[in-house]
Amino acid sequence: MSLHTLTVCQLRDKIRTGEVSSREATQSLLDRIATVDGKVKAYNWLNDDDALAQADAAKKDGALAGVPVAIKDVLNVEGQPCTCASKILQGYIAPYDATAVRKLREAGAILVGRTNMDEFAMGSSTENSSWGTTRNPWDLTRIPGGSSGGSAAAVAADEAFAALGSDTGGSIRQPAALCGCVGLKPTYGRVSRYGLVAFASSLDQIGPFTKDVRDAALLLGVISGHDPMDSTSVPRAVPDYVAALERGVKGLRIGLPKEYFIPGMDREVEAAVRTAIRQWESLGAEVVEISLPHTDYAVAVYYLIATAEASANLARFDGVRYGLRVKGDDVIDTYGKTRGAGFGSEVKRRIILGTYALSAGYYDAYYLRAQKVRTLIRRDFEKAFAKCDVIVTPTTPEVAFKAGEKSGDPLKMYLSDIFTISVNLAGICGVSVPCGFAHKLPVGLQIIGKAFDEETVLRTAHAYEQATAWHKERPVL
């Protein structure tokens, strides 16, 4: 067995016992990347020498001792580029570590490279990258999902033992589903956002991509916790997520929202999800129907709030202090030329949309109303969780689509996040786990939990994973 196919826990245990060294594992991974990444194109940046040097210096204890982890190109890693897949950040080298990255380092992880994404995390296919499109390892003519498509594809193709991504409206769960790996979006405030280049500050959250649920629990434990550098991170103790996995699902109440099993959903996708639900029932869980009545408004609310926040968050990219600068006649002209050349069309579209939603005379009708509906969506979940412990839905309405299929139609693209967006609006947590195949492509199952109840979400996912073998399937490359 090649080292690069191991899970994080397996590899870490081998490194701890001295059976393999971090250098051997890192080298095995780099070899794998060299072999397949020409096809998958998961990475934007790699530095073999640096990765091996980190491996040689890695400590032997720590939760991730010597294990290489890939980082989405939206998180600052000191000394490495951080481009957010945008030309506007070409040449920018991060001068500091994001808190989640620092925590990985402290746990002994090797920061092996930077994974591709939609520019500034805006997109659902990784086609909006300035550095080329990442491919789905299961079918190279298809997209890996997005925006964290590079992280998902890397883990699915055994090009990463694990990866970090960010999830603003589904950017971890949707690509995890389409690539057939585990992707976890923690509760808002669980993981510090310090060092994550902001798309929509009230929705963004960092989370792991892994090959199984145990690894997701392990990584979540490492990156979670209050951070004085992020006022929105919550001062709550971090539980032992790995230990919580073993409690089983007997008596667990699984809620199925009727609004999520919609007409037009891919039949094979729905069948895979229904089969999974029966699996839980056979393990002793109870299924209850619930309602999330404001689901229909989620996409509209999301695209007002996210773009409004993004319009301000992306204002700092002006060519004055770092990144691209295209000189104009005066400073205003320089702003226009720099941003015109630096941002891709989807980013521009969202900045314009957000600017409009916040403008005098429109604020009340758009931004303010969206915030009110957001509150209603949050209440939907609060009411639903009075009846159930977790909510299960398909992660996406369909499997991975062909590259180019939706890139000309933004609205169609936005709808691929229809099942994941509400979780961000409500600030709660969710995980996507593989639950079979439709049209020979992976299908993802979304398990949604209450705020700060990642333990139950992961336990539910783990019980399912123990009873099935979908997570062991690997694409042939």
Partner 1 sequence: MEYEAVIGLEVHVQLKTHSKMFCGCATAFGAEPNTLVCPVCLGYPGVLPVMNAEAVRKTILSGLMLGCEIARFSKWDRKNYFYPDMPKNYQISQYDLPLCKGGRVGKFGITRIHLEEDVAKSFHFAETSGVDFNRAGTPLMEIVSEPDMRSPEDAFAYLTALKEVLIGGGVSDCDMEKGQLRCDANVSVRPVGEKKFGEKVEIKNMNSISGVRRALAYEIQRQIAAVKRGETIVQETRRWDDDTSVTSVMRTKEHAHDYRYFPEPDLMPVEVSAAWLAEIRRAVPELPEAKRRRFVAHYGLPEYDAEVLVADASVAAYYEQAAAGSKNPKAISNWVMTELLAKFAENTIAPAQLAELVAAIDAGQISGKQGKEVFAEMFATGKNAAVIIQEKGLAQLSDAGALEGLVDQALAANPKSVADFKAGNAAAINFLKGQVIKLSKGKANPQLAGEILARKLQG
Among 54, 76, 422, 432, binds partner 1 (CB under 8 A): 76
* Contacts with partner 1, 356-385, as mask; x by CB under 8 A: --xxx--x---x------------------
- Which residue of the set 28, 129, 130, 171 is catalytic? 171
Residue type, 468: T
Beta sheet of 441-449, edge-to-edge order: 43-46, 110-115, 68-72, 162-167, 205-210, 182-185, 429-438, 441-449, 390-394, 253-257, 286-290
**Shortest CA distance to 140 belongs to which of 457, 441, 447, 445?**
441
Binding of partner 1 at residue 167 (CB under 8 A)? Answer: no
* Contacts with partner 1, 431-470, as mask; x by CB under 8 A: ----------------------------------------
Measured in degrees and rounded to the nearest 5, phi and psi for residue 167 equal -130, 115
Where does this chain touch partner 1 (CB under 8 A) — which range of 141-149, 230-238, 379-387, 439-447? 230-238
Say how far apart CA 340 and CA 394 lie, in whole Å: 38
Residue whose CB is less far from partner 1, 338 or 393: 338
Interacting residues with partner 1 between 22 and 51 (CB under 8 A): none
Query: Does the annotation count 231 as an active-site position?
Result: no
423-456 exposure pattern, b = at least 16 Cβ within 10 A, e = fewer: bbbbbbbbbbbbbbbbeebbbbbbbbbbbbbbbb
Binding of partner 1 at residue 202 (CB under 8 A)? Answer: yes
Query: Does the annotation count 147 as an active-site position?
Result: yes
Ordered alpha helix ranges (H), 137-250? 149-156, 173-179, 213-223
132, two tokens: 């080329």
* Number of Cβ within a 10 Å radius of residue 279: 17
Partners of 390 in the beta sheet? 254, 449
Binding of partner 1 at residue 147 (CB under 8 A)? Answer: no
Query: Does the annotation count 224 as an active-site position?
Result: no
| Least Cβ distance, residue 317 to partner 1 (angstroms) | 8
Interacting residues with partner 1 between 84 and 123 (CB under 8 A): 84, 89, 92, 94-96, 98
Say how far apart CA 152 and CA 310 lie, in whole Å: 24
- DSSP code at position 365: I
| Least Cβ distance, residue 324 to partner 1 (angstroms) | 13
Binding of partner 1 at residue 352 (CB under 8 A)? Answer: no
Size of the site for partner 1 (CB under 8 A): 44
The set of catalytic residues is 72, 147, 171
Site residues (vs partner 1, CB under 8 A): 75-76, 82, 84, 89, 92, 94-96, 98, 193-198, 200-202, 228-232, 308-309, 311-312, 315-318, 320-322, 331-332, 335, 355, 358-360, 363, 367
